């Protein structure tokens, strides 16, 4: 069973002005699509091709590098599209808000720490909010297309929010201004979806 590119859950221009339509079109239609194609090619004919992308990530050290890069790319982007939405942003509510306050002090302190992880990631990678095995929230970041599900990750957990800081995610609109992209991105975070992942 081959992996497929999930449709964007909104129009390519829906996240403007924070993320522009052309960036979304190329990011989803070219970059994510290439990860799916290359992942399918890397797994073709192997018994592992019937595994879920989560299972593959959890055992990624057993796979060759093309599966790590493209499988991570497929998992990470599939998550990324869903944790954004038009008319979103604001602050989380309920038990997720409580867990954020408990782990980081306040929502603003959480955002500052998350942005530090995102802007401080040298080169390409991701910043994450994860739920660890004890149910506690933590912020981490991974290089390239790695993610915290992977057995090779320094800090492991279940991703409930992720920010892509590869230049392909922002360069057309923000050029070298990664911090501006990271700041604007909070306006499109879909806290309802993040809360579902947390629960
Ligand atoms: Mn990307």
Q: What's the pLDDT tens digit per position in 35-58? A: 999 999 999 999 888 999 999 999
Residue-level pLDDT at 1: 58
Give the closest residue to 75 by CA, choosing from 52, 43, 109.
52
For residue 41, what pLDDT is reported? 96
Residue 55: the pLDDT is 97
- Is residue 143 helix, strand or coil? strand
Find all residues with CB under 8 Å of 59, minimum gap 6, and list them: 151
Distance 68 CA to ligand 1 centre (A): 15
pLDDT score recorded for residue 33: 98
Nearest one of 35, 74, 30 to 52, comparing CA atoms: 74
How far apart are the CA of 167 and the centre of ligand 1, in A?
Answer: 8
CA distance 192 to 189: 9
Question: 18 and 87 in contact (C-beta within 8 Å)?
Answer: no
User: What is the rounded distance in angstroms from the CA atom of residue 63 to the CA atom of residue 152?
Assistant: 11
Angle made by CA atoms 161, 165, 168, in degrees to the nearest 5: 125
Measured in angstroms, how far is the CA atom of residue 95 from the centroid of ligand 1?
29
Residue by residue, pLDDT tens for the chain (199 residues) are: 599 999 999 999 999 999 999 999 999 999 999 999 999 999 999 988 899 999 999 999 999 999 999 999 999 999 999 999 999 999 999 999 999 999 999 999 999 999 999 999 999 999 999 999 899 999 999 999 999 999 999 999 999 999 999 999 999 999 999 999 999 999 999 999 999 999 9
The residues whose Cβ lies within 5 A of ligand 1, an ion, are 164, 166, 169
Non-local CB neighbours of 180 within 8 Å, separated by 6+ positions: 174
The Å distance, Cα 35 to ligand 1 centre, comes to 10
- CA dihedral sign, ordered 44, 48, 54, 58: negative
Q: Is 113 left (phi over 0), alpha (psi -120 to 50) or beta?
A: alpha
CA of 131 to the centre of ligand 1 (A): 22
**Bond before 17 cis per omega within 30 degrees:** yes
């Amino acid at each position: 069973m081959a992996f497929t590119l999930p449709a964007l859950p909104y129009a390519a221009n829906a996240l403007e002005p924070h993320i522009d339509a052309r960036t979304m079109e190329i990011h989803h239609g070219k970059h994510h699509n290439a990860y799916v194609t290359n992942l399918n090619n890397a797994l073709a004919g192997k018994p592992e091709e019937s595994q879920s992308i989560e299972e593959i990530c959890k055992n990624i050290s057993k796979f060759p590098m093309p599966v790590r890069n493209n499988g991570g790319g497929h998992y990470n982007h599939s998550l990324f599209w869903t944790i954004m939405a038009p008319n979103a942003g604001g602050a989380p509510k309920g038990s997720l808000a409580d867990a954020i306050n408990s782990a980081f002090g306040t929502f603003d302190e959480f955002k500052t720490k998350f942005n530090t992880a995102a802007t401080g990631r040298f080169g390409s990678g991701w910043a994450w909010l994860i739920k660890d095995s004890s149910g506690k929230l933590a912020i981490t970041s991974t290089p390239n297309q790695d993610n915290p599900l992977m057995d090779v990750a320094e800090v492991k957990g279940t991703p409930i929010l992720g920010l892509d800081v590869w230049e392909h995610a922002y360069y057309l609109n923000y050029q070298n201004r990664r911090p501006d992209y990271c700041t604007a991105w909070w306006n499109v975070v879909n806290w309802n979806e993040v809360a579902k992942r947390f629960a």
